[in-house]
Structure 1
Amino acid sequence: MNFKTLHQQDTPLIICNVWDVKTALLAESLNVQAIATSSAAIANSLGYEDGEDMSFDELFFIVEKIAKRTALPLSVDIESGYSRNPADILANIEKLHAVGVKGINIEDSTVNNGTRSLLPTSEFVELLSTLKQGIIDKNLDIFVNVRTDPFLIGVPDALSSAIARITAYQTVDIDGIFVPCAVEHADIQLLVNCTSLPLNLLAMPDMCDFVQLQSLGVKRLSMGNWLFEKLANSYQENVSQILKSQNFSALF
């Protein structure tokens, strides 16, 4: 089953987010259907903050290693494209496609001086249109998942903002919509109903279970940076326990 078809199953596609070859191989051993990079996890593992602090070349180095070692469909979080120039973003997508990447996430917000803000809708639609035409012209078989961030940023009336953006973006013939931080049943149902595109949600503390999300019509679920953070916290707790107990029992 190809990556696009995985978004049309009766049950949601559970995306296992990875940040290196080891996590990709662990995910593969558990028979997940697909994996995706977490830009935040890769950035943090390299000592950067999320929000394009790392370069595309640094991201690509990790992605290429993962792509060479796993047979799973791999999607890559390209944040805002690692450029404001559409030609450069398209070149980045083409480079990812060349090493076997099957999908990308691109988001409609950027981080400047530590603050994330939404791009104007019309500006982002123009970018998507240019990228989509380039993808067609270059015959790239790649799933374009568009992340819209009103809920993540916490803008006033995030639901209406997200729906308006989705309505505009889907005119460009993209493949999927990602709305991180939407958790309320009523909101999710309205988001599903506003588009024929598969809806992707991010794991959140107050999110309902997979069966309920399936009943709402959600097609894809992502773990995001949560696994990386959980493992980092475990590392810190174990080292702290070793130092406190003055033995290595915490490791065993």
Structure 2
Amino acid sequence: YFAPKYKKMEFKNLHNQVTPLLIGNVWDVPSTKTAEKLNFQAIGTSSSAIATLLGYNDGEEMEFSELEYFIKRITQNTNLPLSVDLESGYSRNPKQIVQHIKILSELGVVGINIEDSIVNEKRILLDANDFAKTLTEIKQQLEKENIDIFINVRTDTFILLKENVITETKRRIELYQNAGANGIFIPCIEKENDIKTITDSTSLPINVMCMPNLPNFETLAKLGVKRISMGNFLFDKMYGNFEETVKNVLSQNSFKSIF
């Protein structure tokens, strides 16, 4: 089942609102149903949360087929527009990445996140020009096959770079924009000046992520941010609460604290 055209258009348009699009990050059917109940406009998977559920580290340790199974269950249980965190594409081969995107599109997915870093023991940034070439090939192939999907390109400069982070981020944004990106995601950016500099440098919608010092949503809107993600932080907090709850049961030798 292909996501209807209107749903894909609706998702694209959500990046042009006055108020930034707040993505409800999900990892299974119950979290998806919660996002729906709380009236989120769109949802996105957290690759880190799904990896954790399956006992993997984040960074393409799980097979694409495992991710596909989760996506299938989520899409069958919601009408919300869904964007999928595809990490670096679960392949370095553009043709294979397109194949993965095609499978997701057939499941009804309206957008993907794809990132310019990979994990080889530790996370490293891919060469910007090479990654832009990969994006161009992906975009051309998708157009050829008539697959319309929102490509949110994640750049990991703020996670991995110590110096010239703004300059390098702007350079990568320009390359990715020319390669056909529909949006840019910059995890770990927090400072108001940095955010403003980046949003001013491009016409593409900028996506930021939950961080300890991230400004509130109203401020982010004023800074020109168009999309806000939760990442895996709510998932981690939920399991932190689970541990606390179990500790109470054990210390009290009773289930009373649950009720």
TM-score when normalising by structure 2: 0.95
The equivalent of 2:136 in structure 1 is: 129
Tell me which of 234, 237, 240 is aligned to 1:233. Answer: 240
The equivalent of 1:47 in structure 2 is: 55
Q: Quick one: which amino acid aligns to residue 93 of structure 2?
A: N
Unmatched runs of 5 consecutive residues or more in structure 2 = 1-8
The equivalent of 1:100 in structure 2 is: 108
Moved more, 151-160 or 188-197: 151-160
Tell me which of 63, 79, 87 is aligned to 2:71. Answer: 63
Partner Cα distance (2:64, 2:257) in 1 = 38
Tell me which of 59, 73, 80 is aligned to 1:72. Answer: 80
TM-score when normalising by structure 1: 0.98
The equivalent of 1:212 in structure 2 is: 219
Indicate whether 1:28 and 2:46 are aligned.
Answer: no
Unmatched runs of 5 consecutive residues or more in structure 1 = none
Partner Cα distance (1:249, 1:75) in 2 = 40
Secondary structure of the structure 1 residue equivalent to 2:108: coil
The equivalent of 1:161 in structure 2 is: 168
Q: Quick one: which amino acid aligns to residue 119 of structure 2?
A: V
Moved over 6 A (4+): none
Tell me which of 233, 244, 251 is aligned to 2:251. Answer: 244
Q: State the Cα distance separating 1:164 from its structure 2 match.
A: 1.0
Q: State the Cα distance separating 1:216 from its structure 2 match.
A: 0.7
Indicate whether 1:82 and 2:90 are aligned.
Answer: yes
Q: Quick one: which amino acid aligns to residue 73 of structure 2?
A: K
Instruction: Note if contact 2:135-2:180 (Cα within 8 Å) is conserved in structure 1.
Output: no
Count matched residues: 251
The equivalent of 2:209 in structure 1 is: 202
Secondary structure of the structure 2 residue equivalent to 1:97: helix
Partner deviation per Cα, 1:34-85 (whole Å, 9 max, x = no partner): 0000000000011111000111000000001101110000000000000111
Moved more, 5-14 or 165-174: 165-174
Partner Cα distance (2:190, 2:159) in 1 = 11
RMSD: 0.9
